Amino acid sequence: MTTHAQEIGRGLPAPRALDTEDFHDLERAAELCDMHPEMILEYARAQVVSLVREGELYHLDSRAIHRLRQIAVLREERGMSLRSIRFVMELLERLDSAEHELRVLRDRL
């Protein structure tokens, strides 16, 4: 069953197979996303993606990697501004959350 969030996100990349590690350092994340590390930091400053900081190092989980890939498509292929990307990503998260809540409520019936 396709959710509305999945339908809206159609054309955005699905997660590629990642290493078995749950977290990747900034350099590895940049390689996985075909993105410069500074761009990832810029997205983090704009609160579009979350980083985990350990001392001087930053790490990203697989979900953040997937989110960065989606952001790259919205920015590069669809020409969206960072502000628009933030709005779209927030809407997709809300829609996904609402669909999850609906599934839970339906299962109770």
pLDDT digits (tens, 9 = 90+) for 31-63: 999 999 999 999 999 999 999 888 888 999 988
The answer to whether position 7 is within a domain reads no
Considering its fold, how many domains does the chain have in total? 1
User: Please, what is the average pLDDT of the chain?
Assistant: 84
Residue 19: pLDDT above 80? no
Nearest to 40, CA basis, from 68, 16, 66, 82: 68
Answer whether residue 30 shows pLDDT above 90: yes
Asked if residue 4 has pLDDT above 80, the reply is no
| 3 pLDDT above the threshold of 90 | no
Q: Does residue 82 fall inside a structural domain? A: yes
Sign, CA dihedral 42-43-47-50, equals negative
Residue 24 within any structural domain of the chain: yes
Domain membership of residue 69 (yes or no) is yes
Residue at 28 is within a domain: yes
Output the pTM of the full model.
Answer: 0.71
Q: Is residue 37 part of a domain?
A: yes
Give me the domain span that covers residue 91.
17-108
